[in-house]
């Protein structure tokens, strides 16, 4: 790929936008409008209808009548997000893959700005953006200022996900080099992928607000937080620990709370102070204070002896958590 400042790059198809849908009739039109209205035009839009029982498919077909760039794949039975993304990308013809969630909104210049950056920064393979959170009615809630720059990204990525999945664009070639999404990850499949891709390529965020992320009580991240946290820990163990014998298939057979307990107990058995600290800090960031205590207490060191004394005092522990995160410059 040639590096230039022209967003309309020269090869036949620049981007494959991929989106999975299951019963998304409420917000699907807004998501699709945000993609077909992009200032950058050289893309295909691959949508998988993952076993929907509402009007999702008919809405997609209505848009197909007015935009030939939309490609529809159909699952008669639901396969889940990870499998859908794997299938969509296997059908993708673009140099870049851009994610989009069916209840979110991409700002009009999102694709253009991301393509320009990736064309000009060939060492960068994964690129997110600043996001604005919106409520279920589309009203602004907050702006999530992203971590940017290789040094900061490398530091913080170790402790948890710093990219909004739906906002990300990445190079398909680099995605394929690491084997793509791991189908065993029901959730947090993106974080596992970023960790593997980060070993050979730069990951970054644009500081511009380019994506509106809807706070949806029905989302997987909201309804299955224990599973989300368990899989984040799994990804960290798989990518940073020498002990990679954790049984992912077993955790998938457990309930979400049981899976989290299994991973926390497995983590405590790791004979590595560094790993226990990494996993403990990760759990602090995600708000799982009780489990974080168990891991941090195994790391040793003066600061954790102090933590031990505060173990059964929630107010003091909360204060210690606040100070520790600020001193170590860890985002929450």
Task: Sketch out the chain's domains with CATH numbers.
Answer: 15-219 (3.90.550.10), 224-327 (no CATH)
What residues are paired with 142 via a beta bridge?
133
C-alpha to C-alpha distance for 213 and 137, rounded to whole angstroms = 12
pTM for the full predicted model = 0.88
- What pLDDT score was predicted for residue 2? 33
Half-sphere exposure of 328 (CA within 13 A, CB side): 19
Per the CB < 8 A criterion, the answer to whether 117 and 40 are in contact is no
Give whole-number Cα distances, 121 to 1, 2, 265, 271, in Å: 11, 11, 41, 39
pLDDT in tens, 109-162: 999 999 999 999 999 999 999 999 999 999 999 999 899 999 999 999 999 999
**Per-residue confidence (pLDDT) for residue 9, from 0 to 100:** 42
- Return the structure tokens found at 205: 């965020």
Report the phi/psi class of residue 270: left, alpha or beta, with left for phi > 0 and alpha for psi in -120 to 50.
Answer: beta
Predicted pLDDT of residue 327: 55
The Cα–Cα gap between 227 and 80 comes to 14
DSSP letter for each residue of 232-251 = HHHHHHHHH-S-----HHHH
Say how many C-beta atoms besides its own lie within 10 A of residue 109's C-beta.
15
pLDDT value, residue 3: 36
Within 10 angstroms of residue 21's Cβ, the number of other Cβ atoms is 26
Which pLDDT tens digit goes with each residue over 182-208?
999 999 999 999 999 999 999 999 999
Query: What is the reported pLDDT for 318?
Result: 61
Burial class of residue 177 (count of CB atoms within 10 Å of its CB; 0-12, 13-18, 19+): middle
Q: Which of 198, 16, 35 is nearest to 123 (CA)?
A: 198
CA atoms within 13 A on the CB side of 44: 17
* Secondary structure percentages of the chain, helix, strand, coil, to 5: 45, 20, 40
Query: Rounded to the nearest 5 degrees, what angle is found at the Cα of 221, between the Cα atoms of 77 and 285?
Result: 150
The predicted pLDDT at position 278 comes to 87
CA separation for the pair 185, 249 (Å, rounded): 9
- Distance, CA of 330 to CA of 332 (rounded, Å): 7
Please give the pLDDT value at position 185: 96
Residues of the chain with pLDDT under 70: 1-11, 220-222, 244, 299-332
């Amino acid at each position: 790929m040639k590096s230039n400042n022209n967003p309309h790059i020269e090869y036949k198809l620049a981007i494959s936008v991929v989106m999975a849908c299951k019963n998304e009739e409420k917000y699907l039109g807004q998501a699709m409008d945000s993609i077909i209205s992009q200032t950058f035009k050289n893309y295909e839009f691959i949508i998988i209808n993952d076993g929907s029982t509402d009007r999702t498919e008919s809405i997609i077909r209505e848009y197909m009548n007015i935009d030939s760039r939309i490609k529809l794949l159909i699952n008669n039975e639901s396969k889940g997000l990870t499998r859908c993304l794997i299938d969509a990308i296997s059908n993708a013809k673009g140099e870049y893959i851009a994610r989009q969630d069916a209840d979110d909104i991409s700002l009009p210049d999102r694709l253009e700005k991301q393509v320009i950056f990736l064309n000009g920064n060939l060492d960068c393979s994964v690129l997110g953006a600043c996001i604005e959170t919106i409520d279920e009615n589309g009203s602004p809630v907050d702006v999530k200022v992203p971590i940017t720059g290789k040094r900061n990204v490398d530091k913080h990525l170790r402790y948890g996900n710093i990219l909004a999945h739906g906002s990300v664009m990445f190079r398909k070639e680099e995605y394929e080099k690491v084997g793509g999404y791991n189908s065993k990850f029901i959730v947090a499949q993106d974080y596992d992928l970023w960790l593997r891709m980060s070993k050979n390529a730069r990951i970054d965020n644009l500081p511009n607000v380019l994506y509106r992320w809807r706070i949806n009580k029905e989302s997987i991240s909201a309804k299955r937080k224990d599973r989300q946290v368990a899989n984040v820990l799994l990804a960290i163990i798989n990518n940073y620990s020498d002990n990679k014998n954790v049984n992912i298939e077993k955790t998938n057979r457990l309930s979400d709370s049981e899976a989290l307990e299994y991973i926390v107990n497995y983590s405590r058995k790791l004979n590595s102070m560094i790993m226990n600290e990494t996993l403990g800090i990760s759990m602090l960031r995600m708000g799982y204070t009780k489990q974080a205590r168990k891991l941090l207490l195994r790391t040793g060191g003066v600061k954790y002896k102090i933590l031990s004394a505060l173990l059964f005092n929630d107010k003091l522990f909360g204060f210690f958590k606040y100070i520790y995160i600020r001193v170590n410059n860890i985002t929450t």
